[in-house]
Structures are given as C-alpha cells and as structure tokens.
Amino acid sequence: MIQEFKKVWKQYSITMLWLLGLLWPLLGIHPDGTLSFEKTVTVWSYILAGTFVCLVIYIINSSGHLKIFTEPVVGTTRKFSGIAQAMPSWIWLCGLFVCAIIYPLLTGRYATDVAINVLLYICLGLGLNVVVGLAGMLDLGYIAFYGVGAYTYAILNVNYGLAFWFCLPFSAFFACIAGCIVGYPTLRMRGDYLAIVTLGFGEIVRIILNNWMTLTNGPNGILGIKPIGILLPVMENGFTFEMFWVKKLAVFYYFALALAIIAIIAVKRLNFSRIGRAWESIREDETAAELMGVNTFNYKLLAYAMGAIFAGLAGALFAARMRFVSPESFTFLESVMVLCMVVLGGMGSIPGIVLGVIALIALPEVFRELESYRMLVFGSTMVIMMLFRPAGLVPAKRVGMRSEERE
Amino acid sequence: MDSFIQQLINGITLGGIYALIALGYTMVYGVIQLINFAHGEFFAAGGYVGVIFLSFFTGLGYMESYPVLCLTASFLLAMGYCAYLAVGVEKIAYKPLRKEARLAVLLSALGVSIFLSNGLMLTQGVYDKAYPSELFQGGFHFGNVTVGYLQILIVSLTATLLVALNLLVFKTKIGMAMRATAQDKTMSALVAIGSNRIISLTFAIGAGLAAAAGIMVGLYYGSVRYDMGFVPGIKAFSAAVLGGIGNITGAMLGGLIIGMVEIFGAGYISGEYKDVFAFIILIAVLYFKPTGIMGENIDDTRV
Amino acid sequence: MSKRSLSTVLMGMLVIPFMISMVSAETLKIGSMSPLTGPYASDGTDIKNGVLTAIEVFEQTEGPIPGYDKIELFPQDTVCDPRQAVAAANKLINLKVVGVIGAYCSSSTIPSSETLDEANIIMITPASTNEQVTDRGLPYMFRMCGRDDDQAPAAARFMKESLNAKTIFIVDDKTTYSQGLADGVSKNAKALGMDVVTHDHVNQGDKDFSAVLTKVKAANPDIFYMSLQGYSPAALMCIQAKRMGITSQIVTQDATFQPKFMEVAKDAAEGVYLTYGFTDPTTPEYKAFEEKYVPKYGKIAAYATYAYDSTIALLKAIKAAGSTDPDKIKAELMKLDFNGASKHVKFKENGDSGSSYIAFKVVNGEFVPYWDPEKGLIK
C-alpha cells in the first residue's frame, strides 16, 4: 500500500498545487485592491480532503486491502455470471423484460418519468449509433431529426387533428427526408469537416424552428398536442370501441418501452445484415470498401436515413408525451449529449449504449440534489469515466482486426 | 452608403474576434488533431482573469497613473493563467487518452468544457462582470461612420498574432518541432523531439491566444459572463474548419468570412437567420472544397 | 479499480435518487423550479433566493404552520429546458410538495404546470409573463407577475404620451417572452398611431448587435424598443448603442429590472426607460423583505420580489386552510388580500394577480419611478 502511494503522491501533490494556483486568482483577488487567502484555502482544503479520500480508497482497493469487502461482492457476481453463462441468453432477456414491465408498478412518478426519458434516448442513441458507431460518420447535429419528428407530429396533430398512429409514419418519413438532405452534400466530407457541417445543419433546423412563426409558432412552441389515443373495446352496452387517451405516465411508459425494444431489435438485425457489414467496412476503410464493390454513396446515405428514422419516431413520442414542443428541446447541447451517450456506452455495442443512456440521463438527475453544483460534478464525471473506460462502458466486439492492430 | 461602410467595419471586427479565437483552435488541432471543445472555456477564463486583474489594479489605484502598463500586465497575467490552466488540463484529461479513439478525447474535452464553465459560474457568480469601461472607449468619426479604438486594436492584434504565429510555426526550431510532431509522433521522437513538451507548448500557446481574445472581447463588449465561451467557441470552430483546419492563415480567413456573412446577413437580409447564412456558406464551401479553403487534401481520418 | 467495482459504484449512484424521497413527516415541503445552471442561472438564482427569504420571514412573523415544525424548500434546476422542467416537476410530485414556486421560462412553466396539474399541486409562477400560462384554464395555476398583454399597452402608451414618440424601432431576441412582448408593443403602438419603422430580431446568446444597431442608426427612430430576455443582452446592447452614437430614446421592459444592468452598462444605462410593475420600496412589507434579502444575497432584482410574494401568498393560504388539500388551499388563495413586497396581492378568477405597470428611468445608476398610466409623470 505504501508502495502504491509512493507511486502517485508526487503527481497528486503537483495536481493539487496546480489547482491551488488556479483557484487563487479566481477567489482571492478582489476588485477593491485587496488580496485574501482564507476563502481559497478553505475551498481548496475541501477539494483536497475529498480527493484524498478518493485516492486512498482507490489505492487501498488496487493494492488489495479492500478484499474483505470486495471479495464477497465480486464472488457473488462471479457466481452469478457463472450461472448466467450456463443459462441461455433468452432467460436473461426474459428476466430483463419482466423487470422492465413491472418497473412502473413498483416506482413512483419521478422514476417513471426518468425511465421514459431513458427509453426515448435509447432510441435516439441507437439511431445515432447507426451513423457514428456503424458507418463511422461523426454527426453533431443529430437532434435536428428528433426535432423534425416531434414537430411533424405536433403540427399534423394540432393543425389537422390527425391521430398519433397516423402521424407516426409521417414523422419517420420527414425525419428520413431531412436525413437525406443532410446526408447528400456531406458525403464527400470526412472526419471533422463532416462534424462541423452536421453541426451547421442541426443549428439551421433549430433556427428555422425558432423563426418560422406561421408553421412552428416560433419560440412559443406548439401547445395542446393530443396524447396517444388507442381504441379500447368496451363491453358495457354491447361491443363498442372507446378512445382511450394515454395521459398517465405509467401507461405511456409501455409505449416508450415498445419503441425502445423495436429499436434495439432493428439495430441488432441491421448490424448483422449485409447492410451492417457494408457500413462497418466503410467505417474501417472507405477506400478499401469502395474497391471491394460496396456502393459507399448509397450506404452512407442509407445510414443517415436510418439514423434519422429512429430519431423521428422518438421525436413523435416525445411530442406526445410532453404535449408541448418548443425549440429549446433541440439545441446543440442535446446533440452532444446523445453523442456522449453513444461514445460513453461504447460505440457500436447495443448494451453499451443502453448503459450509456442510463448513465447520462440518470446522472444529472442523481446530482439534482447538488443544485448549482450538479453540472460541475457531471462534467468531471464525464472526464473520469472517459479516463477509466476510454472505449466505453461496454466496448463493442470487433469483427476482424485492423491492419495497424496486428503489428 | 454610410451604413454599408459601417457594416463592413462591424463585419471586420466580428470576423477579427472569431479569427482570434479560431487561431488557438487551429493551432491545437494542427498538432494533435483534437477538436478542443474546452477552447471556448479558456477564452472565457481569460476574459474573467483579465477583468479580475484590471479591477484589482483599479482598486489599488494604479489604473489612473499607468493605464497601458496595467492593461499589458493584465493581458500577460491572463494569458499566463490560461496557458497554465490548459497545460494542466492537457496533462489530466487529454494525455492519458492520446492513444485511444479520437472520440474518447473529444468527449473528455466536452466534459472539461462543462466543468470549466460551471467552475467559472460557481467561483465568479452567476452575474455578468463588468470591465472598467474607461479604457479605449470612443473612436474616430467619419461623418456617420464610427470606428472605435477597440475595433482597430482587435483587428491589428489579430493581424499581428497571425504574422507572429506563422513566423513561429514556419521559421523557428520550435515550429519545426511542432510540424514534425503533427506529422508523426513516433518519428519525431526518434529525432529527439520531445513530443509531450511540444504538445504542452502548443496547448499553452493556444490557450494564451484564447485568453488574449477573451480580454479583447471583454473590453469591446464591456462585460464577461460564465457562458460566453460556448457560442464563440462553435463559431470559431466553424471558422477554423472553413479555412481548412490546422491552417493558421485559413483560420483568419474563415473567421473574417463568417463574421462578414453574419453582419451582412443580419444587416441586409434578416437578423434572426444570420447564423443560417453563416452555416450555409460553410456548407457550400465545404461541398465544393471538402477540406476547407486553404486545407490540404487529407487522408482518411477515422472517427 | 476493477471494472466490476466501478460498475457497482455506478449502479449505487443510480439508486440514490429513488431513496432520497424519505423526509420526516413534520416538515412542510414546498418546491421551487428555476434555472440554476445554464444561461439564465442568474434570474433562476434570484428566484430561489427570494423563496428562501420568504420562508425565513414567514416563519419569523407568522410563526410555524399548525401541524408542522418547519418549512423546507426543495429547489429544482430546470436549465430552461422543457424536458428537465418536467422531470423536476415529477420529482417534486414524488417529494409530495404542497405547492411549487416557478418556473422562470414560459416554455418550462407551460409543460411542467400540466404535469403538476395531474397531481393537483398548486403552482405560482413569479416570472412567466406569457398569456398562455394562465389562459389554459388550469385550476391550480397562479401568477404573481404581470402579463405580456398588460405590459405592452402600458409601454405603448408611455411612449406615446410621455415621450411623444412618432417612430419606433423594435428589436426582440426570439424567446417566448421577448417576442410576445415585442409583438404586443408593435400592435399597441400602431393602434395609438405611432409608426413602427422596423421590427427586427437578434438571437439568444448573441453578443454582437452592431448589425442591427447600424440599422437603427440609419433609421433614426424616436424610440428604440429593446425586448430582450434578461439584463445581460440589454446591457450589451445599450453599451454598443452608445458607442455607435445612437441618439434615440431606449425603452425596455421588466426583465431588465436588475441592478446588475447598471453595473454592466454603466453610463450607457443612463436615461434608459423601462416598464415594470410598480413596487413601492417604502412599505413595511418591502422593508421586511429587504432587511433579510440584501445582507445575504445583495441587491434586489426583479424576480426575487415576485418569488418572495408568491411564497408568502402560498404559505399564508396553507396556514389559513389548515390542511394540504389543494382545493382548500386554492379557496384560501383566492380569498387572499394582503400587501406584498411588490404590490397588493389579490388573485383574479383565472389565477392572475394583475399588476400596474409604470415606467422607470435610470438616473444616476438607480431605477427611478418616472411615469404612471393614471397619474402621468411622477415627481
């Protein structure tokens, strides 16, 4: 343990001194021409104490002194994973499915609300995964398609009174069109050039949503969107149908769950299809893929369209759930958040993305207790997570190997 | 006609500001191919440290007697502070990820950006901080056209830094080492270039430039705010890409174009769609020249 | 650290929020919703501080509410994002709060009020001036601040009657609040026979307004009406307008009623007019608020006063009702008739409390009451 500590104490103290130097000008220099040290040192010593505790726990853990506590935990998890591997995976999936089904019955509104957000973002994350994880194109304006989907349902419903189920394909369709419009001019670009152009498209869509008063009602947003309606058979006076509006969160949860499951299955099928293989080959080496006879142009456009469709569906559901849409929901920061979910979870890996979404939606909610400190903690958590798991929480298994990895 | 010339001057100034931020962006990108999302926050931190020192000097009473000296000192201190900040950030958040996928560093950079802007908010308060306004206000008047001293200062500073950076990168040993590191880290290590040191240095220079931009913007607009780094960060990134990312002269050009398009779009077509015009120009240029105006043809870069 | 223990820690973190909801039964819980992070953090913090001050003052003057030991506030961050606002509302429902003060942005207030309405929770907004907030007919929605369609006619009349304006140049920054108000001013000004030269827009988050200001200079209107969300862009625009040498009178609105406005804009703020609900700073109620607020949080800003009054109104109603039944509290809220810090509080049938907008002028770094729609110039 002492050995371990010797290894890191120098770096640690340099970092802490660096932090002190950073904090002092911000806290200790006052406009009235006085200098103070008290506040800086207080804040700094809190941070010092906090990080030191973390460091000590980390060192004790890595040197094996925490075995008394971790061993039973690790032992049981290992035992369970042993059982898990013995059991066929469908049992696991069934278990998960049952958990997901009974979840809203066991928890309160707030937890259900967070869960709905998680499910919608799973759909978004999987869609973006098609573009970024499978086809390897960095997209910083993905939320625009989500916005297009949401606004399509909102406008069709409020202006023309069309039902949710009728609008849903339109939401997907318009998002898909938007995807193709973005995709077409960007196909020649690669890497960071692509990133900035998609960012530009995302911003353009948001600005249009915010300014086209006659269509989108601008910053006021669209109010009075009908929730999802389903026809339920009623047995009382003979056999009739009655419209049932899904207003309760717990009921809505199941629709979001259905969408997320459909998205998971679809992306899994896509991934292992011919198309998915073509995308992966484009991601790994576009020139080589083209030489091998993959029509890169069509496949890249298809990737955009597919990704956009998922976002459009999620968007329609989002509008039905909020019953209100406004451009503030579709900012650049949201695009970045979805991208973070994909990268943090592990690009190309479905369980990874699910975990990434849970982490990034739930973390700010967990940190809600911290009030104004919550985004600060959130930012540092992101960095720490990346430092510990740079390939994502659950990295995708690669098919084959890259040439440089073989060296 | 007067208002056209005025808009032209506005455009050059705004372009100069974007270019000033974009220079740092492009420097860092040129060496380690990282979109440093935290660059906008270095810019904001520079603005804050600038105002802290300026008001400190005002409080001491030195401001009346030696204004230029105080301003220069604040500039240097803010640039030093940001360089110090950036070197630490690079060591903590970027260096361990250098061998990983590029998106991992990008995410880490985003985390740093969120952390820094909220850190500024918590230490400096949620309200705007005002710059001492007596500095360099006023300007030349030609009929109805006004050219502020600060506008001249911004544009000339940008131009000076552009020349200085080009000299640094192309005429000095350090610049040569930077270019070598940018091309191949392993190879440059073989010829005894400490790539870690060079990367740290690049970060320090980039952040120093951002800090200078932060103070200029603070002086020009009169105040700083904790979230001021975000929007200019995106615009500067666009400017850097438009000019061909990694290319110093390109960043300057890109900044000027974006600034001009925004001002003329707002001035003559429609204020609310000005960002749309800027992005459309960006997309159009990249459609015809996928590597930016002055960018060289790059090989495949993976995400 | 092993991968497994990291994930254990992560899972542990996810469980925490669902366990926190256990608080002892003797506290009366109320919630507040406002942006504590993000671009509107300053206004959101003012609201939170106002509510905290109100609880403190109420406990001192009116004593504890029967059946409860103390009043606890649960401040929630909305970031001005509808999704997070709804999440915050649901969180407050889970916490079983009796009433909610908030939110700031109308686009957060509207969806979150629908959520709170499902759980029959009283909501009083101190800052959302959009008409739709109370016009939707939600039974438990109240508003302490004024409405856009109250403020716009007052502003238009002020420009016509007091400033004798003939031409107006309007700029808004495309938010629900600023645009609604700017449209209202434009309509009312036209009805009063003034000429709206141009109605231009800038975007949220802009810092450089030189393009639009050059247009203003070329048009040279009598009045330059700025409708911007928050004091920060307003201060920037004033500085740049002065630098450009614009001589038109600047008129703006209640979001600028923040002492920081003068601190940032300095002499560029001098002579700016703004419309804001009349608040008499000499009343004992205002003094009581000022005494507690100023030493802790600094100068009083626009929404802090309204947040304070909203909280006092809510607590008074709860005490009078003697229960947490929303209908009883609502009945008591409607009966309320008291002098608040900002104004005389009396809720109307639709939940609005009305307000009398008057014009203020910035003189020597202070907001000075300048013109009243009934009485004309105030000396």
Q: How confident is the model over C232-262, as pLDDT tens digits?
A: 899 999 988 988 888 899 999 888 888 889 8
C256-259 contacts: CB < 8 A, separation 24 or more?
C256/C226, C256/C228, C256/C231, C257/C231, C257/C301, C257/C302, C257/C360, C257/C367, C258/C42, C258/C43, C258/C46, C258/C230, C258/C231, C258/C301, C258/C302, C259/C299, C259/C300, C259/C301, C259/C367
The reply to whether A62 touches chain C by the CB within 8 Å rule is: yes
pLDDT at B301: 42
The pLDDT-based confidence of C379 (bands split at 50, 70, 90) is low
User: Which chain A residues contact residue C3 at CB under 8 A?
Assistant: 389
Q: Specify whether A155 is located in the same domain as A36.
A: no
CB C123 within 8 A of CB C97: no
Interface membership of A290 toward B (CB under 8 Å):
no
Q: Verify that C224 and C76 share a domain, yes or no.
A: no
Q: For residue B297, what pLDDT is reported?
A: 55
Tokens of C277: 């609900």
Whether residues C257 and C160 fall in one domain: yes
| Range with lowest mean pLDDT among A103-107, B24-28, C153-157 | A103-107
The CATH number of residue C217's host domain is 3.40.50.2300
Chain C hits for A70, CB-CB cut-off 8 Å, are 2, 5
Q: Does C180 touch chain A (CB under 8 A)?
A: yes
Same domain, C138 and C154: no
Q: What integer best gives the mean pLDDT of chain B?
A: 87
Distance CA C127, CA A383 (A): 36
Q: Same domain, yes or no, for C320 and C217?
A: no
- Measured distance CA(C112)–CA(C123) in Å, rounded: 10
A49/A44 Cα distance (integer angstroms)? 9
A-chain CB neighbours of B122 within 8 Å are: 372-373, 376
Residue C350 located in a structural domain = no
A45 and A117 belong to one structural domain: no
CA distances from A165 to A168, A178, A316, C89 (A): 5, 21, 10, 28
- Residues C189, C254 within the same domain: yes
pLDDT reported for residue A84? 67
Instruction: State how many domains chain A has.
Output: 2
pLDDT at C196: 92
Q: Is A283 on the interface with B (CB under 8 A)?
A: yes
Residue A13 CB contacts under 8 Å (≥ 6 apart), including other chains: none
Tokens of B224: 């700083």
Residue C156: pLDDT band (50, 70, 90) is: very high
Q: Which of C2, C7, C94 sits opposite A108 (nearest CB)?
A: C94
Supply the mean pLDDT for chain A: 85
**A-C interface: how many C-beta pairs under 8 angstroms?**
133
Q: Are residues A114 and A73 in the same domain?
A: no
Domains in chain C, number: 2
Q: What phi, psi does A244 have (nearest 5°)?
A: -120, 120
Element (H or E) spanning C310, and its range?
helix C302-321
Asked if B53 lies within 8 A of A30 by C-beta distance, the reply is no
The CA distance from A335 to the nearest CA of chain B, in Å, is 12
Contact B26, B245 (CB under 8 A): yes
Measured between beta carbons, the chain B residues lying within 8 angstroms of A284 are 302
Q: Which domain holds residue C264?
A: 148-279+357-377
Whether A315 and A235 map to the same domain: the answer is yes
**What residues 172-231 of chain B have any CB closer than 8 A to a CB of chain A?**
none
Q: Which residues of A touch B300 (CB under 8 A)?
A: 190-191, 285-287
Instruction: Tell me the nearest-neighbour CA distance from A393 into chain C, angstroms.
Output: 9
Distance CA C235, CA B223 (A): 9
> Under an 8 A CB cutoff, do C243 and B133 touch?
no
CA distance to partner chain C, nearest, from residue A366 (Å): 5
Position A403 confidence tier, pLDDT thresholds 50, 70, 90: low
Mean pLDDT of C317-329: 88
Which residues of B fall within a CB distance of 8 Å from C205?
A: 230-231
**All chains having 3 or more CB pairs closer than 8 angstroms to chain C:** A, B
Same domain, C65 and C31: yes
| Residue A162 forms part of a structural domain | yes
Decide if B263 and C232 are in contact by the 8 Å CB cutoff: no
Q: Scan for tokens 């398009």, then name that residue.
A: B261
pLDDT at B89 over 90: yes
Parallel, antiparallel, or unpaired for β C357-363 and C273-277?
Answer: antiparallel
Residue A103 counted as domain residue: no
Is A189 in the same domain as A315? yes
Omega of the bond prior to C313 within 30 degrees of 0, cis? no
Confidence at residue B133, expressed as pLDDT on a 0 to 100 scale: 67
Token readout for A260 is 């997320």
Mean pLDDT of B79-84: 94
| Cβ distance of B222 and C202 shorter than 8 Å | no
Q: Is A324 on the interface with C (CB under 8 A)?
A: yes
Do A73 and A176 have their domain in common?
Answer: no
CB proximity under 8 Å: C 41-100 to A: 41, 45, 75-77, 80-84, 86-88, 90-91, 93-94
- Express each pLDDT in B112-139 by its tens digit: 999 999 999 888 888 888 888 666 777 8
Residues C206 and C68 in one domain: no
- Which of B238, B287, B241 lies closest to B262, judged by CA? B238
**Chains linked to A by 3 or more Cβ pairs within 8 Å:** B, C
Verify whether the Cβ–Cβ distance B128 to C264 is below 8 Å.
yes
Strand C195-201 to strand C167-172: parallel, antiparallel, or no bridges (unpaired)? parallel
Given a cut of 80, whether residue A73 has pLDDT beyond it is no
pLDDT value at position B41? 93
* Residue C351 in domain: no
CB of A339 closer than 8 Å to CB of A360:
no
**Helix, strand, or coil (residue B295):** coil
**In chain A, which residue's Cα lies nearest the Cα of B129?**
A31
> Which residues of chain B are within 8 Å of residue A390 when distances are taken between CB atoms?
96-97, 100-101, 104
Rounded CA gap, B100 and C73, in Å? 45
Please, are residues C206 and C232 in contact by the beta-carbon 8 Å criterion?
Answer: no
CA nearest to A60 within chain C: C1
Calpha distance C223→C171 (Å, rounded): 11
Which residues of chain C make contact with B270, given a CB cutoff of 8 A? 201
**Residue A6: inside a domain:** yes
Shared domain check, A77 and A145 = no
Residue C22 has a pLDDT of: 45
* pLDDT > 70 in chain A, percent: 95
Tell me if C140 sits within 8 A of C122, measured CB to CB: yes
- Which chain C residues are Cβ-neighbours of A64 within 8 angstroms? none
Helix ranges (DSSP H) in B90-172: 102-124, 149-171
Number of B/C CB contacts below 8 angstroms equals 106
> Per the domain annotation, does C352 fall within a domain?
no
Whether residues C229 and C363 fall in one domain: yes
Inform me whether the C-beta atom of residue B234 falls under 8 Å from chain C C-beta atoms.
no
Q: Are both C327 and C307 inside the same structural domain? A: yes
Q: Give the pLDDT of residue C53.
A: 93
Q: Is the pLDDT of residue A351 over 80?
A: yes
Give the gap in angstroms from C-alpha B141 to the nearest C-alpha of chain A.
33
The CATH number of the domain holding residue A163 is 1.10.3470
Residue at C70 is within a domain: yes
- Cβ–Cβ below 8 Å for C17 and A221: no
Residues C314 and C211 in one domain: no
Q: Which of B277, B214, B261 is nearest to B20 (CA)?
A: B214
Render pLDDT for C184-218 as a digit per residue (tens, 0 to 9).
999 999 999 999 999 999 988 888 898 999 999 98
Q: Is position C135 within any domain?
A: yes
Report chain C residues whose CB lies below 8 A from the CB of A364: 84
* Among C210, C200, C202, C168, CA closest to C185: C168
Q: CB B231 to CB C207 under 8 A?
A: yes
Instruction: Please report the pLDDT score of residue A66 as a whole number.
Output: 66
Q: Do A113 and C90 touch (CB under 8 A)?
A: yes
Q: Which two tokens stand for residue C209?
A: 């307004």
Rounded to whole angstroms, the Cα distance separating B283 from A188 reads: 11
Residue A407 falls within a domain, yes or no? Answer: no
For B110, the closest of A27, A208, A336 (CB atoms) is: A336
Mean of all residue pLDDT scores within chain C: 86
Q: Is residue A62 part of a domain?
A: yes
| Within-domain flag for A272 | yes
Chain B residues inside the 8 Å CB shell of C235? 128, 222-223
What's the average model confidence in pLDDT over A268-284? 89
Contact assignment for A110 to C130 by CB distance below 8 Å: no
Residue C279 makes CB contacts below 8 A (sequence gap 6+) with: C286, C305, C341, C342, C343
| Cβ separation B234–A25 shorter than 8 A | no
Judge: A386–B104 Cβ closer than 8 Å, yes or no.
yes
Question: Does B108 lie at the interface with A, CB-CB under 8 angstroms?
Answer: yes
Q: Are residues C295 and C255 in the same domain?
A: no
User: Nearest-CA residue of chain A relative to B231?
Assistant: A332
A10 touches chain B (CB under 8 A): no
Q: Are residues C133 and C31 in the same domain?
A: yes
Preferred mutation among B25, B102, B110 to probe A, highest tally of A CBs within 10 A: B110
When comparing pLDDT for B298 and A252, which is higher?
A: A252
For B89, half-sphere exposure in the C-beta direction (CA atoms, 13 angstrom radius) is 30
Tell me the shortest Cα–Cα distance from C173 to chain B, in angstroms: 8
Amino acid code (one letter) for C33: M
Interfacial B residues in 33-52 facing A (CB < 8 Å): 33, 35, 48-49, 52
A111/C88 touch (CB, cutoff 8 Å), yes or no: no
pLDDT-derived band at C1 (thresholds 50, 70, 90) equals: very low
| Domain-located, residue A7 | yes
The DSSP element (H or E) to which C259 belongs, if any, is none
Check A376 against B115: CB less than 8 A apart. Answer: yes
More confident residue, C123 or B141: C123
Chain B residues within 8 A of A332 when measuring between CB atoms: 234
Task: Report the interhelical angle of C210-219 vs C231-244 (nearest 10°).
Answer: 50
Range of the domain at A34: 2-81
Q: Looking at the domain assignment, is residue A91 inside a domain?
A: no
